[in-house]
């Protein structure tokens, strides 16, 4: 029996079998969890195809974290497939090319806003959208980046990841109010080093 036996986990950001999110989903299944994946746009078909490489079949639902309609449909879709969830893995990050590669001083606000919305604000959007299907004890994990130093090529994605870390702290504070219904919620971020491994869908 694995340490996640009987748990149900929503995993975002599975795009290839080299992605961090894919290996999280794989290990979760190997430890006894049921998993549900998300994808959107052209990436949805990729996620569906990659899901077949997991140890066990799992549902894949469409989710664009910037699309309010998708967010509103998320909880009912989770309930249909799993009933409730015990964990969320936030592995979503994106920045336009103009926000990366040493272009920090010339990046337009619209592109900065896209990076922050997809990479940081989406953590709030995702957790709030899933609240109605939370089990008695829920863990939310975000894939973060240690932003204590600046990496020129990372540019506004580094800023967005710093915002993700701050969003995690503020969500943890707000969750204290949510726990009045006797549900326990834990929020944690996993700090990663710069890598060529993709982490987002």
Domain range list for the chain: 8-192
Per-residue pLDDT of 12-45, as tens digits, reads 999 999 999 999 999 999 999 999 999 999 899 9
Beta strands 60-62 and 184-192, pairing class = unpaired
Quickly state the pLDDT bin for 201 (edges 50, 70, 90).
Answer: very low
- Looking at per-residue pLDDT, the higher value among 196 and 64 belongs to 64
SS3 state of residue 192: strand
What confidence category does residue 179 fall into, taking pLDDT thresholds of 50, 70 and 90?
A: low
> Which residues make beta-bridge pairs with 189?
142
Q: What is the dihedral of CA 98, 102, 108, 109, to 10 degrees?
A: 110
Q: How many CB atoms lie within 10 A of CB 16?
A: 16
CB of 102 within 8 A of CB of 155?
Answer: yes
Could you tell me if 85 and 130 are in contact, meaning their C-beta atoms sit under 8 angstroms apart?
yes
State how far the Cα of 111 lies from the Cα of 89, in Å rounded to an integer. 25
> DSSP string covering 90-130, please?
E------GGGSSS-GGG--HHHHHHHHIIIIIHHHHHHHHH
In this prediction, residue 178 carries a pLDDT of 58
* b/e per residue 123-161 (b: at least 16 CB within 10 A): bbbbbebbeebbbeebbbbbbbbebeeeeeebbbbbbbb
Which CATH number describes the domain made up of 8-192?
A: 3.40.50.720
Eight-state DSSP code of residue 41: T
Strand order in the sheet with 85-90: 60-62, 34-39, 8-11, 85-90, 134-145, 184-192
pTM: 0.90
Residues 97-126 pLDDT 10s: 999 999 999 999 999 999 999 999 999 999
Separate counts of helices (H) and strands (E) for the chain: 6, 6
Of the pLDDT bands very low, low, confident and very high (cuts 50, 70, 90), residue 200 is very low
């Amino acid at each position: 029996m694995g340490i996640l036996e009987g748990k149900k986990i929503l995993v975002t950001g599975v795009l290839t079998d080299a992605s961090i999110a894919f290996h999280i989903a794989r290990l979760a299944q190997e430890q006894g969890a049921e998993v549900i994946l998300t994808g959107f746009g052209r990436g949805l078909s990729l996620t569906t195809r990659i899901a077949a490489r997991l140890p066990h079949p799992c549902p894949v639902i469409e989710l664009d974290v910037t699309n309010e309609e998708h967010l509103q449909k998320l909880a009912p879709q989770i309930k249909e497939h799993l009933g409730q969830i015990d964990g969320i893995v936030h592995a979503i990050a994106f920045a336009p090319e103009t926000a990366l590669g040493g272009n920090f001083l010339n990046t337009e606000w619209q592109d900065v806003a896209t990076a922050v919305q997809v990479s940081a604000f989406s953590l709030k959007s995702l957790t709030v959208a899933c609240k109605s299907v939370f089990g008695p004890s829920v863990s939310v994990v975000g894939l973060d980046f240690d932003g204590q130093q600046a990496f020129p090529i990372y540019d506004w994605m580094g800023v967005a990841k710093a915002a993700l870390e701050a969003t995690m702290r503020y969500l943890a504070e707000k969750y204290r109010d949510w726990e009045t219904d006797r549900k326990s919620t834990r929020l944690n971020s996993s700090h990663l080093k710069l890598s060529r491994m993709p982490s987002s869908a």
